A and B are shown apart, each in its own frame.
Chain A
Amino acid sequence: MLLIKCPFCGPRPELEFSYGGQAHIARPKDPASLDDESWAEYLYIRSNPKGLHAERWRHIHGCARFFNVQRNTASDAIVATYKIGEEPPKPVDPGLEEWSSRSGAAL
């Protein structure tokens, strides 16, 4: 079972968490002024990378808080977790990224 480090509770088993989609998507300040295409893009269009992905998770069966996770979608390696509102940690540990891409290539 995957262990996910909740920024409030520490490492916890995966089944206490629920997935919340891609992170860092800012709602447009003035939605009424958008044309259909850019509104649809905000609502529906998501990146789908093979590799590092920033996403929201919720510790629903714990402290019930949302937080952000940087995860490698190919290897499932969780690179970092951080609270909502915090900047994503930069730069990502190059060693881990290299490891993740290597194991991703082996899949």
Chain B
Amino acid sequence: MVEATIVRVNSLAAVSRDSASSPQVSLAVLPDAAKLVFRGRPSSIGAAGEAFGVELPQTANRFREAAGRKAYWLGPDEWLLEAIGVDSSELFSTMSEKLASHSCSLVDVSHRSDSMAIRGPMSEYVLNHGCPLDLSERAFPVGMCTRTILGKSPIVLSRTEQEVFHLDVWRSFSPYVWSFLDEARQEFLHDQSARSPT
């Protein structure tokens, strides 16, 4: 009998190797997380928040965080729930048990996407190479999240600190998104004096 073990490999593992760091803008792979998508009517939102441990934000395009868990508002009846360092099937079964009496949908999407962070004073500028949103703090404050487009790929973009953005990207798109951002930040990787004269 052959025993098969399935090992989840982060889709960014290969492309992020030897990534140069820059004080202006750096890229980082975020740890794997359990991710669930919850959809339901207003009557079940409170129960879902209780079961997850973070109250679901009702304001459009905002996320709420508590003890390593995040609840992202994606649509008026749709939330992405993210818990770092938690077994997704365990989280799923405890939540679905608590929500059994409600008419709602809960789907485990942990294997659908991987997450990366972009940080530094030039991160807004670099993201704007492929994302047409106004990312200034006035229009996109800390605590805001949204689904949007970067280059050719759909992403979930959130601002966790003034100079830190998190991106949630589908696995098949993530090497593309990483390389896209890496290329966009080339001008900050070498200081002016190190550039070869052309």
Residues of A participating in the B interface, judged by any CB pair closer than 8 Å: 1, 8-10, 12-13, 15-16, 61-65
Contacts and interface: CB of A to CB of B under 8 A. Distances in A.
Contact of A9 (B60, B78, B132, B154): B60
Given A61-B154, A63-B60, A64-B74, A9 B146 contact: yes
User: Could you tell me the dominant secondary structure of chain B's interface residues?
Assistant: strand
Contacts of A16: 148-149
Given A1-B132, A9-B60, A15-B132, A63 B74 contact: yes
B74 A9 contact: no
Interface residues on B, range: 10 to 19
13 contacts: A1-B132, A8-B75, A9-B60, A9-B146, A12-B133, A12-B148, A61-B148, A62-B146, A62-B147, A62-B148, A63-B76, A63-B147, A64-B147
Interface of B: 60-61, 74-76, 78, 132-133, 146-149, 154
A65 B147 CA distance: 12
B149 A9 contact: no
B147 A8 contact: no
A60 to B, nearest CB: 9
Contacts of A63: 60, 74-76, 78, 147
Given A63-B74, A64-B147, A65-B76, A13 B133 contact: yes
B139 to A, nearest CB: 9
B61 A64 contact: no
User: Could you tell me the dominant secondary structure of chain A's interface residues?
Assistant: loop
A8 B76 contact: yes
Contacts of B147: 61-64
Nearest to B149: A61
A16 B148 CA distance: 7
B148 A64 contact: no
B149 A8 contact: no
Contacts of A62: 146-148
A8 B61 CA distance: 9
B61 A9 contact: yes
Given A61-B149, A65-B75, 8 more contacts: A1-B132, A9-B146, A13-B132, A16-B148, A16-B149, A61-B154, A62-B147, A65-B76
Nearest to A6: B60
Contacts of B76: 8, 63, 65
Contacts of A61: 147-149, 154
A15 B150 CA distance: 11
